[in-house]
Amino acid sequence: MQIVVLAGGIGGAKFLAGVRAVARESGSGVTAVVNVGDDVTLHGLRICPDLDSVMYTLGGAADPERGWGRQGETWTVKEELAAYGAEPAWFGLGDRDIATHLVRTRMLDAGYPLSAVTEALCARWQPGVRLLPATDDRVETHVVVETEEGQRAIHFQEWWVRHRAALPAKRFVFVGAEASKPAAGVLEALSAADVVLVAPSNPVVSVAPILAVGGIREALTAPVVGISPIIGGAPVRGMADKCLAAVQTECSAAGVGNLYGARSTGGLLDGWLVDTTDAGVTIPGVTVRSHDLWMRDERSTAEIVRAALEVARA
C-alpha cells in the first residue's frame, strides 16, 4: 500500500512516527508532503521548521521536551548574534540546527531545489519515510494583523514565535501559492497513493498552505481521511484555536471537519477521525469515526493510524 500524509511540523512528525510503524508492519510505502509556509530566511539562513521537525523526530534526534529542534541543543551562536545586536533575536536558532540551515542554504544558493536538499539532508537522518516539501517554490504564510496603526502583514514566524499568536489575526495569506507548483515527486506520490491521510496538524497554517499549492488539491484522487487536531474543543498542542478564530471557525472536531469539507461538495475529506470525546460529530457527506486520538507514544499513534486506514476502507 502507498500512503501519503499531508503534514505540518511537530504534530505531523509525531503522527508520522505512527504511520511509519504501521507501514513497516505491512510493507507499505510512506510519503510525507510537508508544509513550507512556515519557512523563513533569518540571518541569511534558510530555515524550514516543519521539514526539520519531521526529519529530526523521525531521525531520533528531536528534543522530546521542547518538541522542536535538536536534542542536546546549545545556543552559542544565537547569544553571539544577540551580542552583535543582530535582529531578529526572538527566533530559537540552535547551534546544531544551524548546521542544517548552513547545508541547506548553501545547496539552495547552488541551485538545488528544496526537494533535492531535503533528500540530501535525509541521507544523514534516515527518517524511514520519503519527505517532500509541498513545493520547491517559495510559498510563505503571512498573517494580517490589527495594530494601532491599522492592518499590516507579518511573516507567520513573527506572529507565532515573536508575538506568540497574541496579536489578533485577521487573515492568513499564502504568498506565492498561486504561482507555485508541487515539488518534484509530489504529484507522482499522490497519483500512486492508495490513501491520503491529513495529519492532526494545524488546519489553517499547516494543512491549508499545502492545499494552496497549485495542482495539489486536484491530484487528491485517492480516499482522503483526516485526523482531528482538536479534542474536546481544544487543540492537542499549539495555538490552533487562535488560527481557527481568524477564519471564523469553531475550535472543535466538527468545526475543523466542516472547514475541510466533504469531497462531494468540493471539499477535502472522504473520512474524518475524531476523538472518542467527540463521538457523535457528523459532517455531511463524510464518514466520521471516533478513536482515542491522544498520541502518547508510537504505539498509541500507530493505533490512530490503523483506525484512520479503517475509515478509508469504509
Using CB under 8 A, list all residues that contact a copy of itself: 43-45, 74, 76-77, 80-81, 83-86, 95-96, 98-100, 102-103, 105-106, 109, 121, 124
Minimum distance between the CB of residue 174 and a copy of itself, rounded to whole angstroms? Answer: 26
Cβ proximity to a copy of itself: between 95 and 310 the closer is: 95
The set of cell numbers assigned to 201 is 496538524
Cβ proximity to a copy of itself: between 100 and 252 the closer is: 100
Please state, in angstroms and rounded to a whole number, the distance separating the CA atoms of residues 307 and 309: 5
Cβ proximity to a copy of itself: between 80 and 297 the closer is: 80
∠ CA 142-143-148 to the nearest 5 degrees?
A: 135
Contact 291, 281 (CB under 8 A): no
Minimum distance between the CB of residue 45 and a copy of itself, rounded to whole angstroms? Answer: 7
Cβ proximity to a copy of itself: between 102 and 234 the closer is: 102
Minimum distance between the CB of residue 16 and a copy of itself, rounded to whole angstroms? Answer: 22
Minimum distance between the CB of residue 105 and a copy of itself, rounded to whole angstroms? Answer: 5
| Residue 123, helix vs strand vs coil | helix
Report the run of H or E that residue 33 belongs to, with start and end: strand 29-34
| Residue 193, helix vs strand vs coil | coil
Minimum distance between the CB of residue 227 and a copy of itself, rounded to whole angstroms? Answer: 33
The set of cell numbers assigned to 106 is 548553501
Cβ proximity to a copy of itself: between 27 and 123 the closer is: 123
Please state, in angstroms and rounded to a whole number, the distance separating the CA atoms of residues 159 and 239: 11
CA-nearest of 265, 149, 285, 156 to 208 is: 156
